C-alpha cells in the first residue's frame, strides 16, 4: 500500500482571497454559518447517539463540510435547481437543501416528526429534489443519472448532482452509470468525495488508479476536475466553472474532491487504522471551518465576535433540535403498514 | 362490442402504444427494443412510430438502465424497462430491491416510483440453467413491489395498461413460450385491475390455482379428468387475491396449486399457507402443490420436462386427490 500523497494530485488552482472577494462578505458568512450548523448538528447528534437516543448507523460529514456547502452555494440559486442523490453520509446535504435541524434530528431519533417519518433514519433523508440518502454503496449513481435523463427528456436545463465516496468508485453501478451518462449526453455532475477511507480500507488498497476522476473520466471520454475539498473557495470556484460547462454542453462531468474525514466511517468505528498523531495533524491542517474562518479574517470579513455569535446561534439551533426530537411523538404502530405502496 | 383476435405480443404492444399516446412521460427502454424491434418483437414498429426519444436501445447494462429508470421515475417519468429475460434482472436487482421497492416507504412517502419492469420469465425451450429461473417468488417477497403474471392476451393488455398507470414499481412477467398465444380482445380500450384473480372455469370438486404459463397445463389437464374443476388464474401475484381463492376452496374442499417456479418458499407455498390458516375446517384433503423440482433448469429436453409441472402430473395429482381412477 502506498501512502496517500496529495502531491500526485493536480488540484484546481487555489485563489482563496480572490474568490472570497468575488463571493463577498455575505456569501462567505452564509457559507460559514451553514458549515457551522452542519458541524453542530452532527456533533450534538453524536452525543445523542452515545446517550442511546439515536440508533442504527450514523455517518458523520465532519471534515468534509466545505464540499457540499460550496456546491449548494453555487447551484441553489436561480430557477434551474438540480436533482441531488447522496450516499448514506447525507445529513449535511439535507440541511443545505433546507431540511430543518429539527426534522433531521427527529429522524435520527426515529420520531414521527422526522424528515422521513422515522422510516429512514440517518442514511435516508430527502427533499423534493434530494433523492436520498441511499444505504447501498454506489446505488445512488444510477438514480442521479436517471434524474438527469428525466430532465433532458422534459427539456429542463438543470443537471443532476450525485455524491459518492471513494469506496463507491469500484462498484459496477458507478461504471455503468458513467457509460450511460457519457453515451447519452446526460447533464450530470458525479462528485467523488475522496475522504481517503472506505470504512477502514485506505483508498490505495481499494482503487487501482488515482487520481480517481482524472483517470476514470478518460475511460468514458468526459471532463474531470480534481479539487481540494478542505477549501470552500476552491470548491466554489471549481463548481462555478463546472456549472457553466454543463449548462453549455449538457455532458457529464466527473469530479474528485479530496477531504479526509475526521471521524470514523460510522460512529461505531473506533478508527484504529489511523495513528492518533496523524489524525490530529489532518484535523489541525484541514479543518474546512478553521480554514474558512482564517481566510475571512485575513480578508477583514469576519471578527472574532461575529464568529462567536454565529457559533452560538448554530449551537442553539442544534440543542433546540435535540429538544424538539426528544419531545416529538414516536410513530404510531397503527401506521406501521402505511406507505408501503403509493 | 367488436373484438379482435390477437396474440400476447400484440396485446402487450397495443398496451404500450395506447399508454404512450395517453401519457407523454411513458417511454420504453431496454436491450434491442428499438432498432432490432425487440428480441421477441413486443416493441416491433414502436421506434418508427415514436422515435428514439421514447423507444430507447440500451447497451448490455441492466444495472445501469434499471437504476436509471428508477431515478427517472422518481423525477416524474413513467419508464417501461424491458429485460430480455428476467434472469438478467439479477444483475439489476439492487436497484429493483433497495431503491424501487423501498423508496416510497423509506422516504416517508416523499418519492413514488412509477416504473414497469417487463419481459419473459421462467423456462423457454431448452435455454438451460441461467436463462430459465422463475423470479416471482424472489421478488414477491419484497414489500413495495407489485408482481403480475398474465396467462393470456386479454389479461396481458389490460394488466399492462394498469401497471403503466400505477404509481408503484411493477414486475410484469411474461412467458417466451406464450407470446404467440391468441385470444379475443375488445377493440375498445379496457383495463384489468391489479390484485384481482380470475375464475377461469367454475367447478365444485376441486380448486386448481395457478398463474402464467402453467395455466396452459392446467387447462389441458382439466379436459382429461372426470371431475368438476374450478380453475383460478392469479393474474396478480402480489398483492395476492386470497379472497377469491378462499371462497373457492371453502366450496370445493380441495386445492391443488401449480407453479412453474420452485417448491421451496414459492408462490404455491404462500397460497397453501393462507389456505391452511383460513380454510382449515373446510378442507377434505391436504393442499397439494406441483412446482418445479429443486434443480436448476437442465438443458436436456427429457430432464427439462421432468423438473417442470406438466399436464400429466396435474392429472395424476387431481385424480389422487379425488380418489378416482
Q: Report DSSP letters for B227-243, one per residue.
A: S-EEEEE-SEEETT-HH
Chain A residue closest in CA terms to B145: A341
Question: Which tens digit of pLDDT belongs to each residue from B40-82?
Answer: 999 999 999 999 999 999 999 999 999 999 999 999 999 999 9
Going A107 to A110 to A116 to A120, the CA torsion angle's sign is: positive
Q: Hey, which residues does B228 pair with through a beta bridge? A: none
Q: How far is A220 from chain B (nearest CA, A)?
A: 14
Return the pLDDT at A1: 41
Question: Which tens digit of pLDDT belongs to each residue from B239-274?
Answer: 999 999 999 999 999 999 999 999 999 999 999 999
Report the complex ipTM.
Answer: 0.96
Cell of B277: 390458516
Going A265 to A271 to A272 to A273, the CA torsion angle's sign is: positive
Cβ pair A340:B105 closer than 8 A? yes
Return the pLDDT at B325: 42
Cβ pair B63:A172 closer than 8 A? yes
Q: Which residues contact A89 (CB under 8 A, 6 or more apart)?
A: A59, A60, A61, A64, A163, A165, A193
- For B187-197, b where at least 16 C-beta lie within 10 A, e where not — what string? eeeeebebebb
pLDDT of residue B142 exceeding 90: yes
Task: Give B107's contacts in chain A (Cβ within 8 Å).
Answer: 116, 119-120, 124, 126, 132
Cell of B220: 389441458
Confidence of residue B323 (pLDDT cuts 50, 70, 90): confident
Q: How far is A200 from chain B (nearest CA, A)?
A: 24
| Chain B interface with A: residues with Cβ < 8 Å | 25, 27, 53, 58-59, 61, 63-77, 91, 94-95, 98-99, 103-114, 143-144, 146, 167-168
Question: Which tens digit of pLDDT belongs to each residue from B192-229?
Answer: 999 999 999 999 999 999 999 999 999 999 999 999 99
Chain A residue closest in CA terms to B26: A153
Return the pLDDT at B324: 54
Cβ pair A342:B67 closer than 8 A? no
Chain B residue closest in CA terms to A119: B106
Question: How many other CB atoms are found less than 10 A from the CB of residue B142?
Answer: 19
- The alpha carbon of A324 is separated from its chain's Cα centroid by a whole number of angstroms, namely 25
CA distance A262 to A271: 10
What is the pTM assigned to this prediction? Answer: 0.96
Q: Check: CB of residue B82 under 8 Å from CB of residue B28.
A: yes
Question: How many other CB atoms are found less than 10 A from the CB of residue B2?
Answer: 6
Cβ pair B67:A151 closer than 8 A? no
Show which residues of B are catalytic: 62, 131
Cβ pair B67:A135 closer than 8 A? no
Across chain B, what does the average pLDDT equal?
97
Task: Give B111's contacts in chain A (Cβ within 8 Å).
Answer: 126, 131
Q: Over its length of 342 residues, how does chain A's per-residue pLDDT go in tens digits?
A: 445 555 578 999 999 999 999 999 999 999 999 999 999 999 999 999 999 999 999 999 999 999 999 999 999 999 899 999 999 999 999 999 999 999 999 999 999 999 999 999 999 999 999 999 999 999 999 999 999 999 999 999 999 999 999 999 999 999 999 999 999 999 999 999 999 999 999 999 999 999 999 999 999 999 999 999 999 999 999 999 999 999 999 999 999 999 999 999 998 898 999 999 999 999 999 999 999 999 999 999 999 999 999 999 999 999 999 999 999 999 999 999 999 999
Cβ pair B61:A176 closer than 8 A? yes
pLDDT of residue B2 exceeding 70: yes
Q: How far is B122 from chain A (nearest CA, A)?
A: 26
Return the pLDDT at A133: 95
Cβ pair B106:A124 closer than 8 A? yes
Amino acid at each position: 500500500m502506498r501512502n496517500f500523497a496529495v502531491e500526485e494530485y493536480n488540484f484546481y488552482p487555489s485563489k482563496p482571497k480572490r474568490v472570497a472577494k468575488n463571493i463577498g462578505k455575505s456569501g462567505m458568512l452564509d457559507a460559514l454559518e451553514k458549515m457551522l450548523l452542519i458541524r453542530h448538528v452532527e456533533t450534538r447528534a453524536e452525543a445523542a447517539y452515545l446517550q442511546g437516543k439515536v440508533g442504527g448507523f450514523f455517518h458523520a460529514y465532519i471534515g468534509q463540510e466545505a464540499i457540499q456547502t460550496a456546491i449548494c452555494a453555487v447551484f441553489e440559486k436561480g430557477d434551474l435547481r438540480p436533482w441531488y442523490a447522496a450516499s448514506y453520509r447525507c445529513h449535511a446535504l439535507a440541511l443545505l437543501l433546507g431540511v430543518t435541524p429539527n426534522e433531521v434530528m427527529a429522524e435520527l431519533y426515529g420520531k414521527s416528526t422526522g424528515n422521513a417519518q422515522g422510516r429512514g433514519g440517518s442514511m435516508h433523508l430527502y427533499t423534493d429534489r434530494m433523492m436520498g440518502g441511499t444505504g447501498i454503496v454506489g446505488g445512488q449513481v444510477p438514480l442521479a443519472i436517471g434524474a438527469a435523463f428525466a430532465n433532458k427528456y422534459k427539456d429542463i436545463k438543470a443537471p443532476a448532482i450525485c455524491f459518492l465516496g471513494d469506496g463507491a468508485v469500484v462498484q459496477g453501478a458507478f461504471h455503468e452509470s458513467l457509460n450511460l451518462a457519457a453515451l447519452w449526453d446526460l447533464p450530470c455532475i458525479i462528485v467523488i468525495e475522496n475522504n481517503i477511507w472506505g470504512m477502514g480500507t485506505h483508498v490505495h488498497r481499494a482503487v487501482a488508479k488515482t487520481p480517481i476522476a482524472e483517470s476514470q473520466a478518460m475511460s468514458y471520454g468526459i471532463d474531470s476536475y480534481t479539487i481540494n475539498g478542505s477549501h470552500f473557495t476552491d470548491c466554489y470556484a471549481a463548481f462555478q466553472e463546472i456549472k457553466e460547462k454543463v449548462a453549455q454542453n449538457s455532458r457529464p462531468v466527473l469530479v474528485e474532491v479530496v477531504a479526509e474525514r475526521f471521524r470514523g466511517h460510522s460512529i461505531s468505528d473506533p478508527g484504529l487504522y489511523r495513528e492518533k498523531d496523524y489524525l490530529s495533524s489532518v484535523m489541525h491542517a484541514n479543518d474546512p471551518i478553521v480554514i474558512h474562518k482564517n481566510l475571512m479574517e485575513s480578508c477583514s470579513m469576519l471578527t472574532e465576535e461575529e464568529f462567536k455569535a454565529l457559533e452560538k446561534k448554530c449551537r442553539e439551533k442544534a440543542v433546540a433540535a435535540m429538544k424538539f426530537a426528544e419531545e416529538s411523538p414516536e410513530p404510531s404502530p397503527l401506521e406501521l403498514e402505511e406507505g408501503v405502496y403509493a | 362490442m367488436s373484438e379482435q383476435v390477437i396474440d400476447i405480443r400484440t396485446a402487450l404492444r397495443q398496451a404500450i402504444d395506447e399508454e404512450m399516446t395517453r401519457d407523454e412521460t411513458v417511454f420504453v427502454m431496454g436491450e434491442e427494443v428499438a432498432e432490432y424491434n425487440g428480441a421477441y418483437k413486443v416493441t416491433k414498429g414502436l421506434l418508427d412510430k415514436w422515435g428514439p426519444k421514447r423507444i430507447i436501445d440500451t447497451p448490455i447494462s441492466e444495472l445501469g438502465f434499471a437504476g436509471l429508470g428508477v431515478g427517472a421515475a422518481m423525477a416524474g417519468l413513467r419508464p417501461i424497462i424491458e429485460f430480455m429475460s428476467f434472469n438478467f434482472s439479477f444483475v439489476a436487482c439492487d436497484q429493483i430491491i433497495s431503491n424501487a421497492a423501498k423508496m416510497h416507504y423509506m422516504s416517508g412517502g416523499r418519492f413514488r416510483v412509477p416504473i414497469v419492469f417487463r419481459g419473459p420469465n421462467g423456462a423457454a425451450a431448452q435455454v438451460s440453467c441461467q436463462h430459465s429461473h422463475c423470479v416471482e417468488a424472489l421478488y414477491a417477497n419484497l414489500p413495495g413491489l407489485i408482481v403480475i403474471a398474465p396467462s393470456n392476451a386479454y389479461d396481458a393488455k389490460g394488466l399492462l395498461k394498469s401497471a403503466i398507470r400505477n404509481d408503484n414499481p411493477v414486475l410484469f412477467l411474461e412467458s417466451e413460450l406464450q407470446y404467440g398465444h391468441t385470444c379475443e380482445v375488445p377493440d375498445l380500450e379496457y383495463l384489468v385491475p391489479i390484485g384481482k384473480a380470475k375464475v377461469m372455469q367454475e367447478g365444485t370438486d376441486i380448486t386448481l390455482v395457478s398463474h402464467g404459463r402453467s395455466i396452459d397445463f392446467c387447462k389441458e389437464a382439466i379436459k382429461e379428468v372426470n371431475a368438476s374443476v374450478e380453475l383460478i388464474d392469479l393474474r396478480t401475484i402480489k398483492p395476492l387475491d386470497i379472497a377469491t381463492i378462499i371462497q373457492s376452496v371453502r366450496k370445493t374442499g380441495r386445492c391443488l396449486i401449480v407453479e412453474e417456479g420452485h417448491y421451496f418458499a414459492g408462490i404455491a407455498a404462500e397460497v397453501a399457507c393462507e389456505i391452511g390458516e383460513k380454510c382449515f375446517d373446510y378442507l377434505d384433503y391436504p393442499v397439494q402443490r406441483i412446482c418445479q423440482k429443486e434443480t436448476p433448469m437442465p438443458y436436456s429436453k427429457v430432464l427439462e420436462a421432468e423438473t417442470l409441472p406438466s399436464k400429466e402430473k396435474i392429472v395424476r395429482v387431481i385424480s389422487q386427490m379425488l380418489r378416482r381412477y
